[in-house]
Amino acid sequence: MIKNNSQLETRIVTALVNDKPGVLNRITSMLRRRAFNIQSLAVGHSEIDNLSRLTVIVEGGDDIVEKLTKQLHKLIDVIKVNDVSDDNIVSRELALIKITSTPNTRNEIIQLVSIYRSKIVDVSANSIIIEATGDDQKIRALQDLLKNFGIIEVIRTGIIAMNREKINKRKEI
Report the CATH number at residue 40: 3.30.70.260
Q: Nearest Cα to 43, choosing from 67, 14, 76?
A: 14
pLDDT digits (tens, 9 = 90+) for 9-25: 889 999 999 999 999 99
pLDDT digits (tens, 9 = 90+) for 97-131: 999 999 999 999 999 999 999 999 999 999 999 99
pLDDT at 3: 52
167 located within any domain: no
- 117 and 136 assigned to the same domain: yes
Query: Model confidence at 170, in pLDDT bands (50, 70, 90)?
Result: low
- 121 and 73 assigned to the same domain: no
Query: Model confidence at 87, in pLDDT bands (50, 70, 90)?
Result: confident
- 79 and 14 assigned to the same domain: yes
pLDDT at 132: 97
pLDDT at 86: 87
171 located within any domain: no
Q: What average pLDDT does the chain have?
A: 90
118 located within any domain: yes
pLDDT at 134 over 90: yes
How far is the C-alpha of 12 from the C-alpha of 28, rounded, in Å? Answer: 16
Q: Nearest Cα to 26, choosing from 38, 14, 17, 37?
A: 17
Query: Model confidence at 2, in pLDDT bands (50, 70, 90)?
Result: low
pLDDT digits (tens, 9 = 90+) for 31-85: 889 888 888 999 999 999 999 999 999 988 888 889 999 999 999 999 999 999 8
pLDDT at 6 over 60: no
- 132 and 68 assigned to the same domain: no
Q: What percent of the chain lies above the pLDDT cut of 90?
A: 71
81 located within any domain: yes
Burial code (b: 16+ CB inside 10 Å, e: under 16) for 60-84 equals: beeebbeebbebbeebebbeebebb
Amino acid in the structure at residue 147: K
Q: Structure pTM?
A: 0.78
Q: Which domain holds residue 80?
A: 2-87
| Residue 121 CA neighbour count, 13 Å, CB half | 13
Among 42, 70, 87, identify where a domain stops.
87
- Total domains in the chain come to 2
- 108 and 75 assigned to the same domain: no
